[in-house]
Amino acid sequence: MDTRQMKIKAAELALSYVEDGMRLGIGTGSTAEEFVRLLAEKVAGGFKVQGVPTSERTARLCVELGVPLMSLDEMPELDLTIDGADELDRRLTLIKGGGGALLREKIVAAASSRMIVIADETKLVETLGAYPLPIEINVFGGVATRISIEKAAVKLGLTGTMALRMSGDDLFMTDGGHYILDASFGRIPDAEALSRALHGIPGVVEHGLFIGLASLAVVAGEDGARVIEPSA
Ligand SMILES: O=C[C@H](O)[C@H](O)[C@H](O)COP(=O)(O)O
């Protein structure tokens, strides 16, 4: 089974948690897109959902495939969000934002009663941090914000490199009009402490650590998909 087939298996199992009439947050990325394709098939068969997309990219795919959408302002409380992740540990703390959608993804997840994360098993790790942590920063004062992040990280014993994300020759711009710093800090033993420190820096708009948001993970490997509940 290749990685794409694993993503489809995870998306298939996650789809079984979606009930007729649900208000659904719809994630971003290649795994979430497999979910959108499967969901669209069900919708074509008469299944009813209202979706809130977590990015312009996801919105375009949903429109193309006929999945009904609303904005989060029109439907501010959601039953379930299904989304991918770049890394997850057994507590279901996530690193997200590889596709640059972390801000809307976090807002949508926080507005949902439940979040199910879908992933291939290569993303399940003992300790987060092999994947660079995306940090969304305001365009104004980006250099100062970067210095503040470096200082905060050093205080927590985290060192490493940070790179402004590029899109070709241009700086990558999020749907919200911000930049992304990809921070390669290595192992992140205390995600809560790093999250608090980052939220204390004014130029940081949001970061890709999702703590206490995912209620379930569906992880797929060679043997198919399995459900993981958060460990204490
Ligand atoms: O910003 C993007 C999202 O957080 C994605 O859910 C994450 O990057 C995983 O994407 P993929 O399923 O393509 O690996």
Q: Tell me the best of 26, 28, 56, 209 to mutate to test the pocket of ligand 1, counting ligand atoms within 8 Å of each CB and taking the most.
A: 28
| Ramachandran class of 110: left when φ > 0, alpha when ψ lies in -120 to 50, beta otherwise | alpha
The protein residue whose alpha carbon is closest to atom 5 in ligand 1 is 29
Which atom of ligand 1 is nearest to 134's Cα?
1
Q: Tell me the best of 86, 105, 122 to mutate to test the pocket of ligand 1, counting ligand atoms within 8 Å of each CB and taking the most.
A: 86
Token pair 């919105």 in the structure block, residue: 59
Token pair 């250099």 in the structure block, residue: 143
- In contact, 207 and 137? CB cutoff 8 Å: no
Q: pLDDT tens-digit profile of 148-185?
A: 999 999 999 999 999 999 999 999 999 999 999 999 99
**Confidence bin at 1 (pLDDT 50/70/90):** confident
Ligand 1 touching residue 27 (CB < 6 A): yes
- In contact, 45 and 97? CB cutoff 8 Å: no
ipTM for the predicted complex: 0.98
* Fold annotation for 133-203: Alpha-Beta Plaits (3.30.70)
Q: pLDDT tens-digit profile of 70-92?
A: 999 999 999 999 999 999 999 99
Which amino acid, residue 206?
A: E
What tokens were used for 29? 């990325």
Domains of the chain, by residue range, sit at 3-125+211-222, 133-203
- Kindly indicate whether the domain formed by 3-125+211-222 is annotated with CATH number 3.50.50.60: no
